[in-house]
Structure 1
Amino acid sequence: DQIVFTYLHLAADEQQTKALIKSKSVDIAYETIEKDNGSLPLLLPMSEVAGRMATQEAAKYLEMPQGGMGVLLGGVTGVEPATVVVIGGGVVGINAAKMACGLGAKVYILDMNLERLAYLDDVMPANCFPVMSNAAVLRELVLKADVVIGAVLVAGAKAPKLLTKEMLKEMKKGSVIVDVAIDQGGCFETSKATTHDNPCYEVDGVIHYCVANMPGAVAKTSTLALTNATLPYAVEIANKGWKKAMQENKEIKRGANVIKGKVTYKAVAQAFDLDYSPVEEFL
C-alpha cells in the first residue's frame, strides 16, 4: 500500500482529491489528525509560524516602497500606531496578535467563542482587544483597519468567505490584508493563492498577501518545528502499518482523508459532492 502522510488541504483542491482517489493510495492529512480535545497537533507548529509571519509580512507591505500607505505598525512618540484586525482567535490568530501587540500596534482579535475570548482577555496584553465576531462588528472594524489578518479555520473544510468585496471597497487605500486561510481556499472573497516569488497583488487599492505555504519562507524553523510534531505519528504508522495504527490510535484514524479510492473525510466529500465512506469500513 502506498501511504501519503503530509499536508493535503483537499477541501480546497478538487484536482488533487481526484488524483488521490484515482491512485488508490492511503492518504492521511496532517491537518486533520485530531486529539480528543479537538486540538490539531500537526497543524499547530505551522499555524504558529504562519501567524507570526502574517504580522511580519503585513508590517513590511505597509511601507510605501512596497505599495502600502506608509504606516509604521507600532507608531512612535506622538503618532498613533497602526490598527490591526485579526479574524479568528485560534493558534494562527493568537500568534499574529502577539506579534502585532509586541510591535506596539492597536489590535482587535475577533472570535465567536466566548470561552476563547475570555482566555484571550486574560493572556493578551493591554493593547489587544478581544471582540465577539459578527458581520456588523467585522464591517465596522475593517473600515478603520490598516491591516486585516484572516486566521479562520474549519478543520479539514473550505474556509468561509468573511471579508466581502463590498467591505474591501470601503477599506483604506494602501492597507494590507493577509489571508493565512488561503491553503483552505481563503477567507476573503478577493483572495487567490500567490507564491513567495510573487506574493502580493492589489484590488481596490488594498494590498493582498495570499501566499500558500507561508512557513516555506522560513524553511529551517518550519522543518524543525514540524518534525518535532510529526515524527511520533510517522514512526507509529511505519512500525504498525496504516490499518493497525488507525485501529489503535484514534488521532491517526481521524486523519484519514482518502483510502483505496474512497473519500473518508466528510468535509472533503461535501466540498466536491463526492460519496463519503466512513473510515471504519476499511478497518
Structure 2
Amino acid sequence: MIIGVPIEIKNNENRVALTPGGALELIKRGHTVYVQDNAGFNSGFPNELYESVGAKILPTIEAVYDIAEMIMKVKEPIESEYKLIKEDQLLFTYFHFASYEPLTKAMIENRSVCLAYETVEKADRSLPLLIPMSEVAGRMATQQGAKYLEKPIKGKGVLLGGVPGVSPGRVLVLGGGVVGTQAAKMAAGLGAQVTIMDINLDRLRYLNDVMPANVVTRYSSEVNIRELIPIMDLIIGAVLIPGAKAPNLITRDMLKDMQKGTVLVDVAVDQGGCIETCKPTTHENPTFIIDDIVHYCVANMPGAVPYTSTVALTNATLPYAIELANKGWKKACNENRELELGLNVIKGDVVYKAVAEAFDLPYVDVKKHLN
C-alpha cells in the first residue's frame, strides 16, 4: 500500500502521524511511505531520519494526497484539505465528527473512507488510540490550569500546592476516565486538594483505592457540582462519550457562582465541550474570559509537546496501520472488530450512529460496505 503522511496545518499543531521508526515498520512489510517535506521537523524528526529508513520525501501536501492510498494524520482535515481528498481514499486520523458538521458533510461529499482514531474500540470498551493523547492532555490540563491561575494572566493568584501555613489550591475534575485520572494525578502531585467526579460508582471505588489521600471522589450530579464550584480554583472538564458530543456539565449560569479568576480547562472541547461557555481556542490564543472566569479550551493540547505526543501516538496507531496496509481497509475491518468500530464515514454514508444522530443525518449499517 502507498501511505502518505502530510504536514499538519491546523494552528500550532506540531505533531506528525508517524515517526521514522513507524515508517520503517511499514516499509519492511513492503509498503511505500511518502512524507511531506518537514512534516516531522517540529516533532524532532527531520527529513533525513525518514529518508534513512527508506521513506520518500514529497515537496507539497498536494503531492502527498495525490499519490497516497492511505493518509495518516493526527488532526482532522481542515477546509483547505477537503478538495485534496479523493474518492475511496482511506483517511486514518482523529476526526471528532460529532463536534463539527461542515467536516462531516465534506467527507460525505468526497466519498472517502474515514477511519477515526477516537472510535477504534476494544472489547472492554477502552479506546486504544485515544488513550495516549488523553494521557498527555490530562496531564497538560493541570499544568496549564496551574499556569493560568497566576494573577498576571487574570487568574486568582493561587499556587496549587500552597506553601507551609497557606492552604493548597482546590481542583475539581469532571470525569474519572483516562483524562480525568491523569489530571487528578498531576494535581495531587502538586499538592492540591482534588475532587474527582464521575457517574460510574465502580470507577469511583477504583479511584478511591489508588489515588493519594489528597484526592477525594464524589458522585457527579448537578446538585453536587453546584455545591463545589464556589470553592474551586481550577475546574477541569474531562468527560467523553465516544464519538458523540460531550454533555454540558458546567452551564453558563454557573459562572456567577464561581470566584473571580477561577480557571476552567475543557479537555472535551474537540468533542463539543462539557463546559457550555467553552469554544475551541489555539495555542496562539489559548484563553478568553467570561464573567471574570478564565477559559482555556485549546482543542489540540498535546500539540504543544509534539515529541512526546508523536511517539506515544505512533506506539498506539502503528499495529492498526500495519493491519490496514497489509490487508486493505475492508478486509482488515471485517477481521478486526476494533477497526470496524473506527469507521465513521464510508463513500458518502455515515456508518457511526452517534455522528448521524448529532446532525440528523441518515445512518447506514457499516456491514453494507464490508459484506
In 1: Cα distance, 2:178 partner to 2:217 partner: 14
Q: 1:12 aligns with which of 99, 105, 120?
A: 99
1:252 to partner: Cα distance: 0.3
Deviation track 1:14-52 (CA, whole Å, cap 9, x = no partner) reads: 000000000101100000000000000000000000000
Q: 2:213 aligns with which of 104, 126, 143?
A: 126
SS in 2 for 1:167: helix
Any gaps of 5 or more consecutive residues in structure 1? none
Structure 2 residue 89 is matched with structure 1 residue 2:
yes
**Structure 1 outlier segments of 4+, above 3 Å:** none
The residue number in structure 1 matching 2:328 is 241
1:207 to partner: Cα distance: 0.2
The residue number in structure 1 matching 2:188 is 101
The residue number in structure 2 matching 1:138 is 225
- In structure 1, give the amino acid aligned to 2:354: A
Question: Does the 8 Å CA contact 1:112/1:132 hold for their aligned counterparts?
Answer: yes
The residue number in structure 1 matching 2:17 is none
Q: 2:299 aligns with which of 212, 220, 241?
A: 212
In 1: Cα distance, 2:324 partner to 2:369 partner: 16
- In structure 2, give the amino acid aligned to 1:172: Q
In 2: Cα distance, 1:168 partner to 1:239 partner: 52
1:65 to partner: Cα distance: 1.1
Question: Does the 8 Å CA contact 1:89/1:110 hold for their aligned counterparts?
Answer: yes
- In structure 2, give the amino acid aligned to 1:261: G
SS in 2 for 1:121: helix
In 2: Cα distance, 1:22 partner to 1:247 partner: 24
1:165 to partner: Cα distance: 1.0
1:80 to partner: Cα distance: 0.4
Deviation track 1:152-179 (CA, whole Å, cap 9, x = no partner) reads: 0000000101101111111010110000
Structure 2 residue 181 is matched with structure 1 residue 181:
no
The residue number in structure 1 matching 2:165 is 78
1:143 to partner: Cα distance: 1.2
Structure 2 residue 224 is matched with structure 1 residue 149:
no
- The number of aligned residues is 283
In 1: Cα distance, 2:115 partner to 2:169 partner: 41
The residue number in structure 1 matching 2:153 is 66
Structure 2 residue 116 is matched with structure 1 residue 25:
no
Q: 1:203 aligns with which of 290, 301, 304?
A: 290
Please give the root-mean-square deviation of Cα atoms over the aligned residues, in Å: 0.5
In 2: Cα distance, 1:235 partner to 1:20 partner: 24
Structure 2 residue 36 is matched with structure 1 residue 36:
no
In 2: Cα distance, 1:280 partner to 1:165 partner: 42
TM-score by length of 1: 0.99
In 2: Cα distance, 1:96 partner to 1:216 partner: 17
1:218 to partner: Cα distance: 0.4
In 2: Cα distance, 1:100 partner to 1:107 partner: 7
- In structure 2, give the amino acid aligned to 1:191: C
SS in 2 for 1:231: helix
Pair member with larger Rg: 2
1:66 to partner: Cα distance: 1.4
1:279 to partner: Cα distance: 0.6
In 1: Cα distance, 2:110 partner to 2:332 partner: 21
In 2: Cα distance, 1:68 partner to 1:167 partner: 18
Structure with larger RCO (C-alpha < 8 A, sep 6+): 1
Structure 2 residue 337 is matched with structure 1 residue 263:
no
Structure 2 residue 311 is matched with structure 1 residue 224:
yes
Deviation track 1:194-222 (CA, whole Å, cap 9, x = no partner) reads: 00000000001000000011000000100
The residue number in structure 2 matching 1:57 is 144
Question: Does the 8 Å CA contact 1:21/1:260 hold for their aligned counterparts?
Answer: yes
In 2: Cα distance, 1:120 partner to 1:140 partner: 21
Deviation track 1:226-254 (CA, whole Å, cap 9, x = no partner) reads: 00000000110011001000110000000
In 2: Cα distance, 1:68 partner to 1:161 partner: 23
In 2: Cα distance, 1:170 partner to 1:147 partner: 14
SS in 2 for 1:193: coil
1:138 to partner: Cα distance: 0.5
Question: Does the 8 Å CA contact 1:143/1:167 hold for their aligned counterparts?
Answer: no
- In structure 1, give the amino acid aligned to 2:341: R
In 2: Cα distance, 1:67 partner to 1:218 partner: 24
Any gaps of 5 or more consecutive residues in structure 2? 1-87
Percent identity (aligned): 65
